[in-house]
């Protein structure tokens, strides 16, 4: 089961990665990159690093990619081509999405009923619980101080991007 | 799993200065909508109060010296010295900024908030005992400074300075981070004091340690603007708002030197014979390049930028000595340098006028006749920058070269002293223009000193004299805390 999932998602990741380079339209490239990120997240999950997998989806596939797409759209790179959505897509889109989601959930649940932790040599950890525990005990200080860093970035964005008053 | 999420009260006390400054920075932004129009100076006043409170916080932290937050921070004499130094620089920068922000009709609250946060980063760096903490502190300090460098958004030179500083600075941070990653890969720890033991017990190849050391040295070499990583400094110091240049040349530099000394004197102490030649070369290059380039400058800010590169060279001589006395000498020199440099920048801000139009050396002509007090104070700072006795700069250089000679760095000391002689020329040139030339348009129409700028001139002057007449007080403290971790 592990091997099957690994091969499947490694293959998808590779295909998407090649597609990033081959696509002519920047938005398509960016969307292929989402595919790479998502497949990588599944690979992390296979390793048992559920927390890293989750952050991979939220941070890369979510935040970073949205930023990419924003920049691409702002710079108006390439012309967007509109296709009218076919009635098939309208009718079956949402049910098909739900079905695929359900299938994925089913397989993940069957394949990994209890996700263990990552092991490298004598080191063990990587689950959400362990990461959270480390963040709030041993690494509490850097975790909290990073908020100052983010705050500065926000102030900086306001300072550098604000419109002239009056 | 036993969970104890609450830090102990000692932990919190050792972290007090940063908490005070962060709270003040946040408060400033909350007050912005209410007071930004009515009382633009309020934010500066509040910042000064916060810095003073934080200095007391740092002293309080020092009274319970020791590691905090599972050994990520270490409060020792060394950390306290630099914490207080960067906070004093913060106060002086606020004093420099009152008139400047007023003249440029600029927003004040974000400026002062960024300044406070930048000092939070530096204060955190100097008290770090962990490479991750050093990295976060360095980033807080740097990002705040990048933004401050481009604070006057409509000024082209500001934009250029900020962009250049940001791109090159991020690149340098990348190097530092690679070094940190290699060290973590080799040892499995980022705690500075655990690294040497683990490196030795695992018999790591010197080549890999060398690569990690070199990466970290490149990253920090950029932050201290030591040659050959000094290229950015003149452009950035010239383009940034003058009070920010004064701040950049002192506080981030002092903090970067502090962590350079801490990393290299603890983690990489066993491989010292390997990295010492590189520090030696960098010291000589910085001194020579800085001083000779400064000779030909006609722009005051650019000249001070090259002079700051040269001073980074002198400080690297103290690092190359790699002794406790060398560390103490570097600490003393950084304090003296911060005072005289800020004083010199105060005069530059005073004469430059709106939009910083008057920055040529000739613009100082006749200052001695028109504003004798300002001229006298600038004279003190210039003499201190040269290293004339009775000023802090003299004892700073004296201790550095004394430490170098003690560590048998004879050639470096000789070349360093020759360099100081070259440097005397371009500082003395300012004195000649100021006292011997007839007053020009700039000095004739000069506004009187404002209280803020006056204080930013008088306080460093008193400090410079104090360090020059009674160096023992500061040096004793520096020597007692030069053994890191005590």
At B413 the pLDDT is: 92
For residue A20, tell me if it sits in a domain.
yes
Cβ neighbours of A152 in B, within 8 Å: 114, 117, 140, 143-144, 147
Q: Mean pLDDT across chain A, nearest whole number?
A: 80
In chain B, which residues have their Cβ closer than 8 Å to the Cβ of A155? Answer: 29, 110, 113-114, 117, 147
Contact A142 B132 (CB under 8 A): yes
| A94 is a domain residue | no
Residue A68 lies in a domain: yes
What is the mean predicted confidence (pLDDT) over B83-90?
96
Compute the mean pLDDT over every residue in chain B, rounded to the nearest whole number.
91
Of residues B5, B25, B154, nearest to A137 (C-beta): B5
Nearest to B317 by CA among B308, B330, B305, B328: B330
Interface test with A, best of B18, B28, B143, B146 (most A CBs within 10 A): B143
- Look at residue A90 and tell me if it is in a domain: no
Q: Are residue A67 and residue A144 in the same domain, yes or no?
A: no
CA–CA min distance B432, chain A (Å): 41
Note whether A6 and A75 are same-domain residues: yes
Report pLDDT for A120: 58
Residue A95: inside a domain: no
- Answer yes or no: is pLDDT of B1 > 70: no
Q: Can you give the pLDDT at residue A114?
A: 58
Which among B1, B69, B140 has the least Cβ separation from residue A149?
A: B140
Q: Which residues contact B272 (CB under 8 A, 6 or more apart)?
A: B264, B322
Whole-angstrom Cα distance, residue B114 to residue B403? 37
* CA atoms of B340 and B381, how far apart (whole Å): 5
ipTM over 0.90: no
Q: Which of A138, A148, A159 sits opposite B117 (nearest CB)?
A: A148
Contacts of A133 in chain B (CB under 8 A): 1, 3
pLDDT at A126: 67
Higher pLDDT residue, A163 or B396? B396
- The residues that bridge with B191 in the sheet, in sequence order, are B130
Q: What percent of chain B has pLDDT over 70?
A: 99
Residue-level pLDDT at A116:
57
**Residues B420-459, buried b or exposed e (16+ Cβ, 10 A)?**
bebbbebbeebbebbbebebbebbeebeebbebbbbbbbb
pLDDT, residue A166, reads 45
What's the structural domain count of chain A?
Answer: 2
| B-proximal residues of A, 143-162, CB under 8 Å | 145-146, 148-149, 151-153, 155-156, 158-160
Q: What is the mean pLDDT of residues B248-271?
A: 92
Same domain (yes/no): A67, A135: no
Give A-chain residues touching B26 at CB under 8 angstroms.
151
Domain identity same for A112 and A155: no
Q: Answer yes or no: do B140 and A158 touch at CB < 8 A.
A: no
Tell which residue, B207, B400, B405, has the closest CA to residue B317.
B400
Rounded Cα gap, residues B40 and B42, in angstroms: 6
Residue B473 has pLDDT above 60, yes or no: yes
- Identify whether A143 is part of a domain: yes
Nearest C-alpha in A relative to B69: A141
pLDDT in tens, B7-35: 888 888 999 999 999 999 999 999 988 88
Name the residue facing B117 among A141, A152, A158 (closest C-beta).
Answer: A152
The partner residue sitting opposite A142, judged by closest CB among B133, B144, B151, is B133
Question: Domain locations in chain B?
Answer: 15-481
Where helices occur in B127-271 by DSSP H, the ranges are 131-149, 156-187, 195-201, 206-223, 232-239, 242-248, 251-262
User: Is there a single domain that holds both residue A52 and residue A5?
Assistant: yes
User: Does A153 contact B143 at a Cβ distance shorter than 8 Å?
Assistant: yes
Average pLDDT over residues B337-346: 94
Contact B150, B123 (CB under 8 A): no
Residues A110 and A154 in one domain: no
Nearest partner of B356 among B104, B154, B106, judged by Cα: B104
Is residue A129 within 8 angstroms of chain B, CB to CB?
yes
Q: What are phi and psi of A119, to 5 degrees?
A: -125, 125
Same domain flag for A41 and A110? yes
| Subunit contact A152:B140, Cβ cutoff 8 A | yes
Judge whether A161 lies within some domain: yes
CB burial of A16-45 (b: ≥16 within 10 Å; e: otherwise) equals bbebbeeeeebbebbbbbbbbbbbbbbbbb
Do A112 and A164 have their domain in common?
A: no
Helix intervals (H) in chain A:
2-22, 26-47, 50-55, 65-75, 87-111, 128-136, 140-161
Tell me the sheet residues that pair with B73: B68, B128
| pLDDT tens digits for range B210-255 | 899 999 999 999 999 998 899 999 999 999 999 999 999 999 999 9
| B-chain residues near A141 (CB < 8 A) | 15, 68-69, 72-73, 133
Report which of B102, B80, B199 is spatially closest to residue B450, judged by C-alpha positions: B102
Separation of alpha carbons B153 and B130, rounded Å: 36
Give me the domain span that covers residue A4: 1-79+105-118
User: A155–B113: do the CB atoms touch at under 8 Å?
Assistant: yes
Q: Are residues A144 and A74 in the same domain?
A: no
Based on the domain organization, do A113 and A39 belong to the same domain? yes
CATH number for position A36: 1.20.120.1200
Closest residue in chain A to residue B141, using alpha carbons only? A149
B330: left (phi over 0), alpha (psi -120 to 50) or beta: alpha
Q: Cβ A137–B18 below 8 Å, yes or no?
A: no
């Amino acid at each position: 089961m592990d091997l099957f999932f690994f091969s499947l998602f490694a293959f998808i990741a590779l295909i998407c990665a090649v597609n990033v380079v081959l696509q002519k339209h920047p938005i398509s490239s960016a969307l292929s990159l989402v595919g790479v990120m998502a497949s990588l997240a599944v690979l992390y999950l296979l390793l048992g690093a559920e927390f890293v997998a989750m952050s991979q989806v939220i941070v890369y596939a979510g935040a970073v990619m949205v930023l990419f797409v924003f920049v691409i759209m702002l710079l108006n790179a390439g012309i967007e081509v509109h296709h009218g959505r076919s009635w098939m897509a309208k009718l079956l889109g949402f049910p098909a999405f739900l079905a695929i989601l359900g299938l994925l959930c089913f397989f993940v649940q069957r394949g990994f009923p209890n996700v263990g932790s990552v092991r490298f040599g004598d080191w063990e950890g990587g689950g959400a619980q362990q990461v959270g525990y480390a963040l709030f005990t041993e690494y509490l200080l850097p975790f909290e101080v990073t908020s100052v860093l983010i705050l500065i970035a926000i102030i900086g964005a306001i300072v550098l991007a604000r419109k002239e008053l009056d | 799993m036993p969970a104890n999420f609450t830090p102990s009260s000692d932990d919190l006390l050792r972290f007090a200065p940063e908490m005070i400054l962060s709270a003040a920075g946040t408060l400033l932004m909350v007050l912005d909508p209410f007071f930004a129009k009515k009382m633009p100076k309020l934010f500066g006043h509040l910042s000064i109060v916060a810095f003073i409170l934080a200095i007391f916080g740092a002293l309080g932290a020092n009274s319970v010296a020791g590691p905090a937050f599972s050994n990520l921070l270490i409060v020792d004499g060394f950390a306290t010295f630099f914490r207080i130094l960067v906070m004093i620089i913060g106060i002086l920068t606020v004093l420099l900024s009152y008139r400047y922000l007023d003249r440029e009709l600029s927003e004040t609250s974000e400026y002062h908030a960024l300044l406070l946060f930048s000092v939070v980063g530096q204060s955190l760096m100097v008290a770090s005992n962990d490479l991750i903490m050093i990295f976060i502190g360095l980033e807080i300090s740097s990002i705040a400074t990048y933004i401050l460098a481009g604070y006057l958004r409509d000024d082209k030179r500001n934009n250029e300075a900020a962009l250049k500083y940001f791109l090159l600075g991020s690149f340098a941070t990348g190097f530092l981070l690679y070094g940190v990653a290699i060290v973590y890969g080799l040892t499995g720890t980022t705690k500075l004091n655990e690294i040497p033991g683990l490196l030795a017990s695992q018999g790591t190849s010197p080549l890999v340690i060398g690569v990690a050391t070199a990466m970290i040295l490149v990253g920090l070499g950029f932050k201290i603007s030591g040659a050959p990583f000094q290229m950015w400094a003149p452009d950035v110091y010239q383009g940034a708002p003058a009070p920010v240049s004064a701040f950049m040349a002192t506080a981030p530099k002092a903090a970067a030197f502090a962590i350079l000394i801490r990393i290299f004197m603890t983690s990489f102490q066993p491989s010292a014979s390997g990295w010492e030649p590189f520090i030696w070369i960098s010291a000589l290059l910085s001194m020579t390049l800085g001083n000779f380039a400064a000779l030909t400058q006609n722009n005051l800010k650019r000249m001070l930028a090259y002079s700051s590169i040269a001073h980074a060279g002198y400080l690297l001589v103290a690092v190359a000595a790699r002794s406790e006395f060398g560390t103490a000498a570097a600490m003393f020199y950084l304090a003296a340098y911060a005072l005289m440099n800020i004083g010199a920048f105060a005069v530059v801000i005073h004469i430059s006028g709106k939009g910083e139009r008057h920055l040529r050396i000739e613009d100082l002509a006749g200052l001695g006749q028109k504003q004798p007090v300002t001229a006298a104070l600038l004279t003190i700072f210039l003499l201190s920058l040269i290293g004339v006795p009775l000023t802090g700069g003299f004892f700073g250089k004296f201790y550095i070269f004394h430490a170098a000679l003690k560590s048998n760095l004879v050639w470096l000391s000789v070349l360093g002293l020759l360099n100081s002689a070259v440097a005397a020329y371009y500082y003395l040139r300012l004195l000649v223009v100021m006292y011997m030339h007839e007053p020009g348009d700039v000095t004739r129409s000069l506004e009187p000193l404002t209280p803020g700028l006056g204080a930013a001139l008088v306080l460093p002057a008193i400090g410079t004299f104090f360090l020059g007449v009674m160096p023992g007080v500061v040096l004793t403290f520096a020597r007692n805390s030069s053994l890191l971790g005590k």
